[in-house]
Amino acid sequence: MKKALKIIGITLLVLVILLVSIPFIFQGKIKDIVKNTINNNVNAHVEFSDINLSFIRSFPQAQVDVSDLEITNFAPFKDEKLASIKSISLTMSIKELFKKANQGPVVINKFNINEALIVLKTNKYGETNYDIAKETEDNGALESESSNSFSLDVQDYNIDNSALTYIDESSNIIFYITELNHSGKGTFSENISELDTKTGARLTLKMDDTEYLSNHTLKLDAIIGLDLPNNKYTFKENKAFINELPLEFKGYVQLLESGQEVDITFENPGSDFKEFLAVIPKSYSKDIAQVETTGNFKISGRINGLISEETIPKLDINIVSNNASFKYPDLPKRVDNININTSIKNTTGNVDDTYVDITTLNFKIDEDQFHAKAKIGNLTKNMTVDAYIDGVLNLAHISQAYPIELDTKLSGILKAKLNTAFDMDAIETNAYQRIKNNGTVQVTNFIYESEDMLNPLSISNADLTFQSGSVVLNRFEAKTGQSDLNANGTITNFLGFLLSDKKLQGNFNVTSNTLNISDFMVADEETESDKEIKKTAEVSAPLKIPAFLDCTIDANAKTVIYDNLTLKNMKGKLAIKDQTATLNNLTTNLFDGTLAVSGDINTQKDVPHFNLKLNVNSFDITESFNTLDLLKAIAPISKLFEGKLNTDIALSGNLDSSFSPILSSISGNALAELLTTKTKLEDSPLLNALSSKLNFIDLDKLNLNNLKTNLTFSDGKVNIEPFHLAYKDIDIAVGGTHGFDQTMNYDVAFNVPAKYLGSDINRLIGKINDPEVNKITIPVTANLKGTFDSPKISTDLSSSVTNLTQQLIEIEKKKLVSKGTDAIKDIIGGLTSGNNPKPGNSPKDSTAVQTDTIKTDKPTTEDAIKNILGGFIKKNKNKNKNPKDSIN
């Protein structure tokens, strides 16, 4: 007995070892075989991270697991993923692994797919990414092989947490299935069998940029009859839910060589109007269990015909509701007199003949009644619309009657009586002759908020008349922020703006008492690139001119606020297009003068850019330079003057977040003219420092009238072309550069007559006593560096005086030589004796003095002149202690 138990134990141990080890021994070979077999039979690249075969995990059954399966397409969908599946698991009897083809179907007990992401795609040429099976060259061999191939009998299967996307570029259809969970039980090997399924998912259907289903919840419990020889699938006991709306349907789908034959009918089993609310997604309809409703609602339809490349099934779908109402328990308003009669039809099977006919759509909220009807045709191509609207709608009542979540409070009264007929192609191509409008729309006390506007727009009154191809704005009265607007004009593509991504085009006349430019800007979302721009360009998230505007405005505003400026009586034309505002001779009163502006402001890029020409006439210098940083930067010294300024400025650069110029980015040129101007010496460290260095000029008495100069500026530097000033008979030339940071490098050249260089020089000139000497001038140069508030000034005044002295020496030498030898001797004699000859002295005495002088040390003519000037210069040096009487 012990021996038998030992044998049994050893046998079991060997079996367990074999069950555990065999999958590991053959696992690598199995993985290679499976991968090569798949890739040899499909036009795609198939890859998976691992394949496992286990005899233990589901013993006594075998389990095969495939992990991270990916199918990647070849051209024309090269490198696009067809499928990505996290795991596939199959469970079957071990003996099924060794069954031959002629021994019956392979029975799979359980089949599970987890987290599958599948993308089915048809491009604009009709090519599909899912037709990846390779064709065999020998059809006869194919038939023989297929007749002996394995068949499958799946008893239980699941698809969990998966998603499917279908994209048809040729018809512009996108269909999403997300959160897909599907399970089924059945037998697939028999000719006639059944499949019992349960399905839950969310559906989104989008056609031509219109969402017909938006994340709708779908539930389906269906028993499907399988007629495999005839490829016919019949719906037996079926119940579906679209959101909370129940639908029962029956019919069949049969696969034919020419397509799929469909014949399905459906209807909602009840007739309560609450079922209509159930169609609306829960995120909008909320909990409808407590909603009080009256009236009926019925949806029914039939879909029958052939689905092929040329045809679709015929459609006859009807939605009807009569005298219905609803009221949410937490809201004050009831919606009454709801009447709906709508059908979706196609009687030919041609997709272009599908249309929606809204015969009746009426409702009432309080005393406001709304009536509409419409016919919408050619849904898949150039959609046509023929609609009529007549009613009054208090927009505030919408959120009081229906639990709609709005970002902002909606208010205003809308009155409309309008007929419109158009096709979408006419709107896209501005074919106004095909757009038929007739009627009026009035809006009162309406508040509009948009991401494209910084402040809410409050429209107190708007009156529009619809005409063919255009809308006439008879009256428009609105406020936003600090601004008020009154306008009239014409809008040329109002429907294009409302129904597609077209811009709002038109021509308007606008008047305003107060217009604050910043009220009409929008703050851009801040991105990482914006943050980098802030660092480099000194701007925050930039404002944008609204991209939806494409219009011309003739403006007349009494007061316009732009940054820190207040402009009066502004008139001109403004064109807005592609986030660019173009100004054409915009004139305004500013700083007791006038300003004319032409150019453009472009906000297309991250940093707004401007390119403007300014004509300034009679600006008050003090007020303008104290207010405008731009003028301070271009000509900072002008703030020291009083008077008027004329200038023409051409400039370009970038704007910061408040639409003010970024000074470091500005370049351009200017011609400036000062009128009736005087200096303010007491306010200027620069002028005071310059005055202390030069005692021959009084800067308060500079003549600055009609002063003109040219300036150029770029890279934060201003270059002043040399210009001339006059002070008495002193000519002054000024030129150089300064930076927007107030640093400067200027040279001021004074052409100074000698008579202004101090009393000593004047006495010297008087001694020479020659009219030509009074005409002598010397150049004196002052170099100005540092900043305007902390200047560093150097002059060459001392060297200039030395040069003047040399000039006077030469002049006096020439004069003495021309007088002759006797005159020189008389002068020398008088100098050497220390006494000048006096009247009454005898010639003898005089001769004696001269003789004595000659006997000592006879001076030359040059020595005599040097003695005269030398003594004078010594006196001059001693007097330098008083800067007001001498020369530095």
Average pLDDT, the chain: 77
Which DSSP letter does residue 869 get? H
SS3 of residue 347 by DSSP: coil
Has this prediction a pTM greater than 0.85? Answer: no
Structure confidence at residue 502 (pLDDT) = 76
Name the phi and psi angles at 246, rounded to 5: -80, 140
Residues with Cβ within 8 Å of residue 133, at least 6 apart in sequence: 41, 42, 43
Q: At what angle do helices 797-819 and 861-878 cross, to 10 degrees?
A: 150
Residue of 603, 611, 613 whose CA lies nearest to 656: 603
Residue 62: name the closest of 52, 72, 50 by CA: 52
Q: How many residues does the chain have?
A: 888
Q: Where are the domains of the chain?
A: 280-411, 495-723
Between 271 and 522, name the one with better pLDDT.
Answer: 271
pLDDT at 5: 44
| CB atoms closer than 10 angstroms to residue 857 | 8
Confidence of residue 836 (pLDDT cuts 50, 70, 90): very low
Question: Residue 677 and residue 262: Cα distance in Å, rounded?
Answer: 94
Q: Return the DSSP state at 859.
A: P
Tokens for 223, please give them. 């028993």
**Residue 167 pLDDT greater than 70, yes or no:** yes
Give the per-residue pLDDT at 178.
92
d(CA 629, CA 663): 8
Q: What is the SS3 assignment for 697?
A: coil
Mean pLDDT confidence for 555-580? 87
The average pLDDT across 639-644 equals 72
* Tens digit of each residue's pLDDT (9 = 90 or more) over 25-50: 445 545 565 566 666 777 888 888 87
Q: How many CB atoms lie within 10 A of CB 740?
A: 19
pLDDT in tens, 655-678: 887 677 888 888 888 888 777 666
Identify the weakest region by mean pLDDT among 302-316, 722-736, 856-870.
Answer: 856-870
Rounded alpha-carbon distances, angstroms, from residue 761 to 264, 756, 816, 872, 877: 121, 8, 19, 9, 12
Q: How does DSSP classify residue 501?
A: S
Q: What is the pLDDT of residue 564?
A: 73
Bridge partner list, 779 = 751
pLDDT attached to residue 452: 64
Instruction: Give the pLDDT band (50/70/90) at residue 646.
Output: confident
The pLDDT value given to residue 103: 62
Which carries the bigger pLDDT value, residue 794 or residue 881? 794
Higher pLDDT, 427 or 710: 710
The answer on pLDDT for 17 being more than 60 is no
Which tens digits make up the pLDDT trace of 244-260? 788 888 899 998 888 88
Residue 841 has a pLDDT of 40
Residue 864: the pLDDT is 44
DSSP of 161-218, one letter per residue?
EEEEEEEETTTTEEEEEEEEEEEEEE-SSSSEEEEEEEEEEEEEEEETTEEEEEEEEE
CB 92 within 8 A of CB 108: yes
* Per-residue pLDDT, 39: 67
pLDDT mean over 725-743: 84
How far, in Å, CA of 587 to CA of 615, rounded?
A: 9
**Could you tell me if 318 and 359 are in contact, meaning their C-beta atoms sit under 8 angstroms apart?**
no
Distance CA(412)–CA(396), nearest Å, equals 7
Res 301 pLDDT > 90: yes
DSSP 248: E
**271-280, 429-438, 797-806: which range is least confident on average?**
797-806
pLDDT band at 153 (very low <50, low <70, confident <90, very high): low
Residue 624 in this model has a pLDDT that exceeds 60: yes
The predicted structure's pLDDT at residue 816:
66
d(CA 245, CA 91) in angstroms, rounded, equals 37
Amino acid at 2: K
Residue with tokens 């969402």: 211
Query: pLDDT-derived band of residue 403, with 50, 70 and 90 as boundaries?
Result: confident
Q: What is the pLDDT of residue 852?
A: 34
Task: Give per-residue pLDDT as tens, 106-150.
Answer: 677 788 889 989 998 888 888 888 888 776 554 444 444 444 444
Q: Which of 643, 649, 622, 617 is nearest to 703 (CA)?
A: 643
Name, in order, each residue with C-beta under 8 angstroms of 186's C-beta and a sequence gap of 6 or more. Answer: 154, 155, 193, 194, 195, 196, 226
Q: What is the mean pLDDT of residues 639-653?
A: 81
Q: Report pLDDT for 718.
A: 87
Average pLDDT over residues 226-233: 85
The enclosing H or E element of 852 equals: helix 843-856
Residue 89: name the closest of 157, 24, 184 by CA: 157
Model confidence pLDDT, tens digit, residues 480-512: 888 999 999 998 877 777 767 778 888 999 999
Q: Which of 221, 182, 202 is nearest to 283 (CA)?
A: 202
